[in-house]
Chain A
Amino acid sequence: MINRTKAIAKKEIKQLKRDARMLFVILFFPVFLLVIFGYAVTFDVHHIKLAIFDKNKTEVSRDYIKSFTESTYFDIVKYLDADKEVKETLDEKYAQVVLVIPADFSNTLATGSQPTKVQFLIDGVDGNTATIIMNYVNGATRSYSLKIQEDYLASIGGKFYQPINLEARYWFNPNLESTKFLIPGLIAMILIVTAVVSVSLSLVREKERGTIEQINVSSINTLELLIGKSLPYIFLALLNAAFILTAGYFLFDIAIKGSYIWLFITTLIFVISSIGLGILVSVIADSQQIAFTIATFASLLPSVILSGFIFPIDSMPLPIQIITNITPAKFFIVALRAIVLRGVGPEAFWDQLLYLILFGTFMLTAASIISKKKARAV
């Protein structure tokens, strides 16, 4: 049993190694996708060009300005001295946003009787970016005013019980959370597409070339064949997952909070159940072209639309919610978010693993029923 499985796996690896193009696609395409999609779904805007018109020119106003330069979100590009410069700065696109601090800024702040007003003028040509800039500006200003509040309370002996510093991080970047949320979905999508496509193609190729008949007359059984065929692709998929997570760490600052072992186990189970889908596709399709079409369709579409990757499942109508179960990505994403983002243990996602195992079993059972029906018929 071991020998025969080994023979199949070895052969598959040799063929893969010789097929440099395929190998390149399998290994580098995912990271490429991650970069493209990752930036596309990232709403973070860094290095916003900020011009400052400080009419107050006090220590207080400078302190307020400093709160903008403490992050990478804003770069101060210019200090203005006159009102007419404001228009010019925006028109000529020297800056994307101009902050105007009124002359009475520090005084109003000191009296504390009424809120101080500051003015932001944002270049609204790109509405999307403008909204994001506005959010940042709001966040930065809010966190600064909280700080003042805290200082004030401290000065009169009161105590601000909320951990302001911690919250400030999120306020400063209200969209960071959603980007992080999207990355696990991206990983799931990439892994399932590469696993399903590569396994189904590799199996159908043998059918197309007629070599499967040669294997069929040997003493090898279906299980040995499938394990031997899948092993190299399971390994590749895990390697892929590692690549993507590393890239995610460096490019999008997504650190894995939870256990690596559970991350490994979860990914392994997901990859195996995806390969189950690949095997089912290979049983249905008789040519590589058909296999490729079905495999891409069956893996890509549901894992983007129905997995909760982009559209939250909770807000779908009930019948659609039921249909979402056709993609294992749905379960993997929940588990992955739990492990990577929340850092929680299996108690939080064991049911997802169970679903994944169920899904894989279902795929393999369907594949074996169909292949038994087809076997020896034509």
Chain B
Amino acid sequence: MFSIEVNNLTKKFGNFTSVDEISFTVKQGEILGFLGSNGAGKSTTIRMLCGILAPTSGDALVGGYSIVKEPDKVKLNLGYMSQRFSLYNDLTVEENINFFGGVYGLAGKHLKERKQWVLEISNLVGKEKILTGSLPGGIKQRLALGTAVIHQPKIVFLDEPTSGVDPISRRNFWELIHQLSDNGTTVFVTTHYLEEAEFCNNIILIDAGKLIAEGNSKKLKTEYLTNSIIEIECSRVVDALGILEAQNFVEETSIFGNKIHISVKEYLDYKSKIKNLLTDENGIDVKSINKIVPTLEDVFIHLLEKNKK
């Protein structure tokens, strides 16, 4: 039994195709990481799956209901945290919780219990009267997540919930997501932080509206990337990158801080070749050259490059 089943889902805005015939499934209780760069079509997909945006063609079953035929029923089963901050800054913490509890039809004892839960997970017990606008970003996002699932939906859609939040708060946020998933909630989460993909049970990568890879991180690393990755630590990284890009044996390049990753078809003895190229011919100091296990980012860069061609 799938929690979400997507079939050839497409959305066009005028002539522009924002989401292009994507199909995938999500199991109950799974955390699906929906990855893609800005403008890839993540939010558009989420908004269609939540029943607030009609697809141009294709369909999806969310919680068993068609987003085309029964969008109102779809809404009954889900929680949604939109990409823009979804709470009211001019209401207090408690007023926000009461409001969202209210529009989800909670009242009385049940509302009280759930309010307490939201306050606990967002570390706001005793701070109910604080204006939401004055909370720090990380806490705001936890509160937003809490209110989005205040009615205990079976599925929750989170659109870039960690964007603009500091790394420690992001880690805490992911712990919350896991807590939800442990309790059987299906979590559909988008992010453009590729490293967050490691926290997901399953990953979908989209680019320019198209689905370009799907699977867990192990599968992605082994199946999609057959090249070897070499990591080079050196001075004048930008110059070095330019030189390496021009080489025939180099397939793809990318920069990670002061390190360069290049992918090569087969790992031969490039070590000396690269050292020659950079140090002897161009006077760049090379600290280290190592073959490494590819990270998910290497995989994504590879896939995105391939999609461009």
| B 79-106 to A, binary, CB cutoff 8 A, 1 in contact else 0 | 1101111111011000100111111110
C-alpha gap A3/B106 in the complex (Å): 8
Q: Is the CB of A217 within 8 A of B102?
A: no
Which A residues touch B238, using CB under 8 A?
A: none
Which A residues touch B91, using CB under 8 A?
A: 11, 14-15, 18
For the complex with contacts A8-B99, A15-B88, 10 further pairs of A-B residues with Cβ separation under 8 Å are A7-B98, A7-B102, A210-B82, A210-B86, A214-B80, A214-B82, A219-B103, A375-B54, A376-B53, A377-B54
Which A residues touch B83, using CB under 8 A?
A: 210
Q: Is the CB of A211 within 8 A of B88?
A: yes
Which A residues touch B154, using CB under 8 A?
A: none
C-alpha gap A210/B99 in the complex (Å): 16
Q: Is the CB of B90 within 8 A of A4?
A: no
Q: Provided the pairs A213-B47, A376-B52 are in contact, do residues A6 and B90 lie with their beta carbons within 8 angstroms?
A: no
Q: Provided the pairs A11-B91, A211-B88, A376-B54 are in contact, do residues A217 and B75 lie with their beta carbons within 8 angstroms?
A: yes
C-alpha gap A11/B83 in the complex (Å): 22
A-B contacts, 13 of them at CB < 8 A, read: A3-B105, A4-B103, A7-B99, A14-B91, A14-B95, A15-B91, A210-B86, A211-B87, A214-B86, A215-B103, A216-B52, A218-B75, A218-B104
| A 194-219 to B, binary, CB cutoff 8 A, 1 in contact else 0 | 00000000000000011101111111
CB contact between A3 and one of B52, B75, B102 (< 8 Å): that residue: B102
How many chain A residues have a CB neighbour from B under 8 Å? Answer: 26
Which B residues touch A375, using CB under 8 A?
A: 54
C-alpha gap A94/B53 in the complex (Å): 76
| A 29-72 to B, binary, CB cutoff 8 A, 1 in contact else 0 | 00000000000000000000000000000000000000000000
C-alpha gap A123/B76 in the complex (Å): 78
Closest to B51 in A: A217
CB contact between B90 and one of A18, A216, A220 (< 8 Å): that residue: A18
Q: Is the C-beta of A83 less than 8 angstroms from some C-beta in chain B?
A: no
**B residues lining the A interface (CB < 8 Å):** 13, 47, 50-54, 71, 75-76, 78-80, 82-88, 90-91, 95, 98-105, 107, 148
Q: Is the C-beta of A19 less than 8 angstroms from some C-beta in chain B?
A: yes
Closest CB-CB distance, B189 to chain A, in whole Å? 16
Which B residues touch A220, using CB under 8 A?
A: 103
Which A residues touch B51, using CB under 8 A?
A: 217, 376
CB contact between B103 and one of A210, A218, A378 (< 8 Å): that residue: A218
Closest to A4 in B: B103
CB contact between B78 and one of A213, A217, A377 (< 8 Å): that residue: A217
C-alpha gap A102/B88 in the complex (Å): 79
C-alpha gap A225/B103 in the complex (Å): 9
Closest to B157 in A: A217
C-alpha gap A18/B129 in the complex (Å): 13
Q: Is the C-beta of A147 less than 8 angstroms from some C-beta in chain B?
A: no
Closest CB-CB distance, A172 to chain B, in whole Å? 55
Q: Provided the pairs A18-B90, A19-B90, A213-B86 are in contact, do residues A219 and B50 lie with their beta carbons within 8 angstroms?
A: no
Q: Is the CB of B102 within 8 A of A6?
A: yes
C-alpha gap A6/B148 in the complex (Å): 19
Closest CB-CB distance, A122 to chain B, in whole Å? 59
Closest to A8 in B: B103
C-alpha gap A334/B103 in the complex (Å): 40
C-alpha gap A378/B88 in the complex (Å): 23
Closest to A225 in B: B103
Interface centre among A7, A19, A209, A211 (most CB of B within 10 A): A7
- 8 nearest CB pairs, A to B: A7-B102, A210-B84, A376-B54, A218-B103, A217-B80, A214-B86, A11-B99, A220-B103
Interface centre among B76, B82, B99 (most CB of A within 10 A): B99
Which A residues touch B88, using CB under 8 A?
A: 11, 15, 211
C-alpha gap A220/B84 in the complex (Å): 20
C-alpha gap A318/B51 in the complex (Å): 48
